[in-house]
């Protein structure tokens, strides 16, 4: 039914990278704070515009701008939690509603500072790589390769951190049983802050990459939010590894839609949801089987 | 001298009061056993002492210092450890990782963890196994070992023998006694009241959130009224 087209796979990997980076933070927040954070997409946009300001206005090299964008994402995430979510000390529904308000505030601030026009990073790298054209027969540019490569590095670093560092183990312990974590002596408030930092930084990186792959717009993150939710739910809510797997699948499906005959390409987001529902029918707790972030 | 002192504590969940003027003492090097019917509030005592529940009134002292309402992560750093009744291991973490979590509050937990492996060879064999894959008895042992990594002065244990096969129950009690012999004062809850009291110095009988009887373990075991009401005749 679906013809194997390496071009679509390449496109899928780029889109998946962006979704994976966004999904991880969404899943972490779901895990530790127990609510779907509707501001997470707009946090991606904050990161994208942060990098734009550092690169475009201040003239720093692009890699520096990406890292700065990630720092901005982390700081904004932590501050939002400290100023809004934590003091509310409320249930999931209240926090969800509040997060919609936070999303609107992020977006309004971006529009006020940067306007509503679409913008792009002035970094080149848009011409297809000849070697890829000749050997694989696909049109892929340096930007796309960089997005995939950096995402792999970030995801690999997160995995190493979770498995082999004390903070990572404390994060997994806190996610498995917060009260036993405190009983063991873990300062869970610090662990929670670390999770917001990681989620915020990765979201910002995803935002920058989305801006690099398409355009930078204040609505960019909000538009991708539903796809992120699909990835997180598919992976198994609250599981980091599930979010990675779910992001990969959803991103792929999203870009492979053109290969399905009859179905118009603009149904790609709908198809992603259909796939999500089909997989959940078979495996109701998601790909990671409802396990925590271990 | 009392290492742990609970005085006139009221506590509960939400609006529901469970403990009514609860008082107890744990002396140095003692094992004290708390017994009583289901729902008497035994676990609530330990949760309140360990900072998981804020007491409504009353005071709790450790080594004479007021620790009322202090957070669990701070109490661990003051020499107290706690093994909860349920969910007392991290299932997705390995045995080794569980023990390391028990050691986050201290410097260089490595040597103590190695000692614990020597004391509990069963855990040594399972170092890389996920805690969730262990049997009930092994998990109980891991939960105890996790609490011991800080080498606590005071150890609170909630029903160490719950859900274990009778053959292992004796082993667990033996382990608890050994921990005590190494100088740790233990406040233990035991559903298996007679067996629990037998390895203890003193006991408290809790009913409906306050102490009904207290005394030497032997005295309680021989008291016909306690036996009839709380030890199943
Ligand atoms: N998390 C909770 N929320 C609300 N009520 C609770 C909670 N935990 C216990 N209770 C209630 O508090 C009372 C005392 O419970 P507690 O667990 O302290 O009893 P227990 O003596 O330890 O009993 P058991 O022998 O069954 O372990 C019971 O009525 C119980 O239903
Ligand atoms: Mg109990």
Each residue's pLDDT tens digit, A38-55: 999 999 999 999 999 999
In a domain? residue A181? yes
For residue B98, the chain A residue with the least C-alpha distance is A173
From the list B72, B92, B97, which residue is nearest A291 (CB)?
Answer: B92
- Check residues A3 and B50 and name the one with the higher pLDDT: B50
Q: Touching check for A167 and chain B: CB below 8 Å?
A: no
The binding-site residues of ligand 1, defined as CB within 6 angstroms of any ligand atom, are B 13, 16, 18, 36, 38-44, 85, 191
> pLDDT tier at A181 (50, 70, 90 boundaries)?
very high
In a domain? residue A10? yes
Q: What is the mean pLDDT of residues B134-149?
A: 94
In a domain? residue A212? yes
- Contacts by residues A155-162 (CB-CB < 8 Å, ≥ 24 positions apart): A155/A20, A155/A24, A155/A244, A158/A24, A158/A198, A158/A202, A158/A240, A162/A240, A162/A293, A162/A294
**CATH top-level class of B2-230:** alpha beta
Q: What is the mean pLDDT of residues A49-62?
A: 93
Q: How many angstroms is it from B43 CA to the middle of ligand 2?
A: 4
For residue A189, the chain B residue with the least C-alpha distance is B73
- Mutation for A interface: B73, B94, B151, most A CBs within 10 A: B73
Q: How many angstroms is it from B157 CA to the middle of ligand 2?
A: 10
Decide: helix, strand or coil at residue B158: strand
Distance between A39 CA and the closest CA of chain B, angstroms: 30
Provide ipTM, 2 decimals: 0.94
Q: Each residue of A165-174: pLDDT tens digit?
A: 999 999 999 9
> pLDDT tier at A68 (50, 70, 90 boundaries)?
very high
Phi, psi at residue B32, to the nearest 5°?
Answer: -120, 135
Please give the residue range of the domain that contains residue A61.
Answer: 6-221
From the list A183, A185, A294, which residue is nearest B93 (CB)?
Answer: A294
Q: Do A186 and B73 touch (CB under 8 A)?
A: yes
In a domain? residue A239? no
Q: Each residue of A11-44: pLDDT tens digit?
A: 899 999 999 999 999 999 998 888 999 999 999 9
pLDDT of residue B185: 97
**What's the number of domains chain A is made of?**
1
- Edge-to-edge strand list for the sheet holding B202-207: B80-83, B154-158, B185-189, B31-35, B202-207, B210-216
Q: Do B73 and A173 touch (CB under 8 A)?
A: no
Q: What is the mean pLDDT of residues A67-91?
A: 96
Q: Do B92 and A294 touch (CB under 8 A)?
A: yes
Q: What is the mean pLDDT of residues B76-96?
A: 96
DSSP secondary structure of A141-199? BHHHHHHHHHHHHHHHHHHHHHHHSHHHHHHHHHHH-HHHHHHHT--HHHHHHHHHHHH
Residue A126 has pLDDT above 90, yes or no: no
Mutate to test the pocket of ligand 1, among B33, B36, B41 (most ligand atoms within 8 A of CB): B41
pLDDT of residue A293: 45
């Amino acid at each position: 039914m679906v013809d194997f087209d390496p071009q679509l796979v390449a496109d899928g990997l780029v889109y998946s990278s962006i979704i994976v980076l966004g999904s991880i933070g969404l899943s972490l927040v779901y895990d530790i704070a127990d609510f779907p954070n509707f501001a997470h997409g707009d946090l991606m946009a904050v990161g994208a515009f942060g990098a734009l300001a550092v690169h475009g206005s201040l003239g720093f090299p692009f890699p520096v701008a990406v890292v700065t964008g990630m720092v901005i994402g982390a700081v904004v995430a932590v501050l939002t939690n400290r100023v809004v979510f934590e003091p509310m000390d409320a249930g999931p529904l209240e926090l969800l509603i509040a997060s919609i308000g936070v999303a609107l505030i992020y977006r309004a601030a971006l529009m006020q500072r940067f306007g509503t026009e679409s913008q792009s990073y002035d970094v080149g790298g848009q011409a297809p790589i000849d070697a890829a054209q000749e050997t694989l027969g696909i049109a892929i540019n340096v930007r796309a390769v960089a997005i995939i490569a950096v995402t792999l590095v970030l995801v690999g670093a997160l995995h190493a951190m979770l498995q082999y560092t004390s903070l990572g183990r404390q994060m997994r312990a806190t996610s498995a049983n917060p009260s036993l974590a405190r009983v063991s002596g873990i300062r869970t408030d610090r662990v929670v802050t670390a999770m917001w930092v990681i989620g915020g930084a990765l979201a910002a990186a995803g935002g920058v990459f989305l801006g690099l792959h398409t355009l930078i717009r204040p609505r960019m993150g909000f538009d991708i939010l539903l796809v992120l939710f699909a990835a997180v739910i598919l992976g198994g809510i609250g599981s980091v590894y599930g979010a990675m797997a779910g992001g990969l699948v959803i991103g792929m499906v999203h870009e492979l839609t053109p290969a399905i005959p009859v179905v118009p390409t603009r149904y790609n987001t709908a198809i992603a949801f259909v796939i999500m529902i089909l997989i959940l029918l078979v495996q109701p707790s998601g790909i990671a089987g409802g396990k925590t972030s271990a | 001298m009392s290492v742990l002192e609970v005085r006139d504590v009221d506590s509960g969940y939400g609006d529901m009061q469970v403990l009514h003027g609860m008082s107890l003492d744990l002396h140095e090097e003692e094992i004290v056993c708390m017994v009583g019917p289901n729902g008497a509030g035994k676990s609530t005592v330990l949760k309140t002492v360990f900072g998981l529940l804020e007491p409504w009134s009353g005071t709790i002292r450790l080594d004479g210092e007021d620790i009322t309402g202090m957070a669990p992560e701070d109490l661990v750093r003051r020499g107290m450890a706690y093994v909860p009744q349920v969910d007392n291991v991290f299932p997705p973490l390995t045995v080794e990782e569980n023990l390391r979590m028990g050691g986050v509050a201290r410097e260089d937990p490595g040597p103590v963890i190695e000692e614990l492996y020597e004391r509990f060879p069963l855990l040594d064999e399972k170092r890389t196994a996920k805690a969730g894959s262990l049997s009930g008895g092994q998990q109980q042992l891991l939960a105890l070992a996790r609490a011991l990594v800080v080498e606590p002065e005071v150890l609170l244990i909630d029903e160490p023998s719950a859900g274990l096969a009778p053959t292992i129950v004796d082993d667990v009690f033996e382990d608890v006694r050994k921990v005590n012999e190494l100088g740790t004062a233990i406040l233990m809850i035991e559903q298996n009241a007679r067996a629990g009291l037998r390895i203890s110095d003193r006991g408290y009988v809790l009913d409906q959130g306050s102490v009904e009887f207290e005394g030497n373990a032997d005295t309680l075991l021989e008291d016909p009224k306690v036996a009839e009401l709380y030890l199943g005749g």
